Chain A
């Protein structure tokens, strides 16, 4: 091999490696690996190696992960949904009112609650697709509106098993069976039910995006809405459905949240929309749309979830944790960006 050939071969090898690194999914995986490496180094006297730690990390991340699935679908279409935190509160309140106050059967309460979340999404989607409001504005309005509706519906208090009576005393109801079921563990106690619900949400979202015509349409709209329209894509319908789906996942997250807290808190979910967006972005789905997917969001969820867990088992104070998380979001996104020029 002449020196020139050797340099050529080295360049080729280097190019192959950098091409590998350029694959966005791998870049996202590298970020996750780094976080896990940090966990192994700062294992907090072996706490990081316990099954319970991982189970809890997943349980705590699941509600955000479920929200992030719907958010991913909207972001791929070139939009954003700021209302998911408020929709979560509204549905958590609705679910608790139906299950605790009205004693509805579990199936009816679940279906009606999911319908409430989906309806909110349909309204956001309609504002975006039919009235052509900017997604930011339309969902900001829905965010404020749904929060108000949640407070109206709950009478401004938390809806719990302590039911207030006119005289000022309380009736104490049983915790509904469906709450207990959602908050239980499965697979020999190793996996929380909410994590299973997250897994199912992931799977459904993945199938919708990767295997259904609708997903392809969303990628096309996010990439070039005008080209999509001229190719006969029903742009308005597809977009509306994206927000509807996001509302549905917010409702699913709300069921989990209500079951875990054993109450419907009209103040719940404040700021969750930002965590969901952070997960989507850290995973590697671009906020401008068209690039990314559910696989990225899974990695983003685990990255953010582990980061939080590692900081908490090492007893990093809340204030520092927030600052660190902010810095890490910027770092992760900058690393992603270098992949695409």
Chain B
């Protein structure tokens, strides 16, 4: 065990507005060690990394680099201090050569002009040093994702990084490339680099980690040497022991089968990658909430988009809605049929921020308020007001631009918009994301209210306790496939998480 850490984060706290996302977290990075940072989606891992990388500056607590206090003011600043972050989304310029990408931001020059010859020679040296077998003169965009990632890592190391943070680096890699990455990590360890590793894959944890720290709800949940931490214990730390009583699912009354999905598959829009959804079959009764659990890349969001007819690529398989065969061709057709989708990013895909709350609420049901095309403002306003009341929207005026409302109220505007289409099936993708506690309760109340009138809900939640608390059954997805279907009684956090990571439940029990 090494003595002093390279980087020590002490008592880190961070909030966005009212909500605290990190509370008093300590995290040490030791030389020659892989420190795995684990936790559910939304546990605060990314926020912690962003603080270290200089993306956020307004945090409490301190960071020490080899004993001296630092406070990275920007990503470039952090990089200059020797902290390199390999983000999940690669920052490669596909239209430039490998060598150009390696020296991006600090091109090698001779006499004031960029020297391709110098760059290529230097690039060849660097690439061979890290065992990356690519042509420095080739276009980065022509290379497979794994090679692009290697280039990005090489670039980070060129700046003499002492700490390398990898955020789910293997999420886009196949088995061979993953091994290659592990080889690179071994080489980094030999050089006494400290490595922070984030992953959602269970099988990776003991393969790469030397030390594990778990975050839960923005707070420290536990830490141990990897060799001394059984997986069952790790999961316990991740999910916490008990589910809060705050998720009150009122006794549901199910009706007839509303939705039946058989052998549903969605191809990946990028050629050569595995399908987004593969051979999913399930059914849903009216009045029921079916939770769809899955970690990032599980395909559960894509399943929603495909059922709603919002993806370019046509899904295969068959869908029966209210007893009839239904092929979702467009969002417009699905809305008419009685299906509504709440996306997980209200700013990007849910709201028109520049329009008023009234205009947003009535956007999906505008035809009802404009017979023959001519809009009736009175009718719009009346409908928006009654919808706003039923979701308990708090806005100074419904004429306010949606962008001026708080996160919780924005979400209520989206929900009101969906309900105005009078849906029989709601696809809710993380309905409480970025929403304050009070608004969360109201969203749960609304879900109970809607299902009591026969609406069925498919629910995704980034918070596992919420998903388990609100669902009548839970379907778990892992890399596009349905890996488990559980009744409410069976669906313990441990089982769901294990299935979401692709493990058979028996093996961890």
Contacts and interface: CB of A to CB of B under 8 A. Distances in A.
Contacts of A219: 352, 354-355, 359
Interface stretch (B114-122, B233-241, B360-368): B360-368
Interface size class of B (residues with CB under 8 A): 20 to 34
Contacts of B336: 232
Given A213-B375, A216-B375, A219-B359, A227 B354 contact: no
Contacts of B335: 231-232
B368 to A, nearest CB: 10
Given A213-B366, A213-B367, A219-B352, A231 B375 contact: no
A228 B350 CA distance: 8
A223 B331 CA distance: 18
Contacts of B353: 223-224
Interface string B386-419: 0000000000000000000000000000000100
Contacts of A244: none
B355 A290 contact: yes
Contact of A234 (B332, B355, B370, B417): B332
B432 to A, nearest CB: 19
A253 B212 CA distance: 71
B375 A212 contact: yes
Contacts of B308: 230
B483 interface: no
B61 to A, nearest CB: 31
B373 interface: yes
Contacts of B370: 212-213
A177 B375 CA distance: 39
B460 to A, nearest CB: 16
B280 interface: no
B123 interface: no
A100 B366 CA distance: 47
A232 B355 contact: no
Given A212-B375, A213-B366, A213-B373, A227 B359 contact: no
A231 B421 CA distance: 9
A227 B373 contact: no
Interface stretch (B243-251, B319-327, B341-349): B341-349
A226 interface: yes
A220 B359 contact: yes
Interface in A283-297: 290-291
Nearest to B308: A230
Interface string A203-230: 0000000011111110110111011111
A44 B413 CA distance: 56
Nearest to A207: B374
A106 interface: no
Interface size class of A (residues with CB under 8 A): 20 to 34
Nearest to B352: A223
B349 A226 contact: yes
Contacts of A217: 366
A233 interface: yes
Residue among A216, A227, A229, A233 with the highest chain B CB neighbour number at 10 A:
A227
B351 interface: yes
Contacts of A230: 308, 310, 331, 341, 343, 349-350
B350 A211 contact: no
Interface string A188-215: 0000000000000000000000011111
Contacts of A222: 354
B352 A220 contact: yes
A227 B349 contact: yes
Contacts of A226: 348-349
B132 to A, nearest CB: 36
Nearest to A291: B354
Contacts of A291: 354
Contacts of B331: 229-232
A227 B99 CA distance: 39
Contacts of A290: 352, 354-355
A308 B130 CA distance: 66
Given A232-B331, A232-B332, A224 B374 contact: no
Nearest to B349: A226
A212 B351 contact: no
A233 to B, nearest CB: 7
Interface string B195-216: 0000000000000000000000
B363 A212 contact: no
Contacts of A212: 370, 373-375
Contacts of A211: 374-375
Interface in B468-487: none
Contacts of B310: 229-230
Interface string A8-32: 0000000000000000000000000
Nearest to A214: B373
A319 B23 CA distance: 64
B162 to A, nearest CB: 40
Nearest to A208: B373
Contacts of A234: 332
A257 to B, nearest CB: 31
A229 B350 CA distance: 10
Given A219-B354, A224-B354, 14 more contacts: A211-B375, A213-B367, A213-B370, A216-B359, A222-B354, A223-B355, A224-B352, A227-B350, A227-B351, A230-B349, A232-B332, A232-B335, A232-B336, A290-B354
Interface of B: 308, 310, 330-332, 335-336, 341, 343, 348-355, 359, 363-364, 366-367, 370, 373-375, 417, 421
14 contacts: A211-B375, A216-B359, A216-B366, A217-B366, A224-B349, A224-B351, A226-B349, A227-B350, A228-B363, A229-B331, A230-B341, A230-B350, A232-B332, A233-B332
Give me the 5 closest cross-chain CB pairs, A-B, nearest first: A223-B352, A231-B364, A232-B332, A213-B370, A223-B354
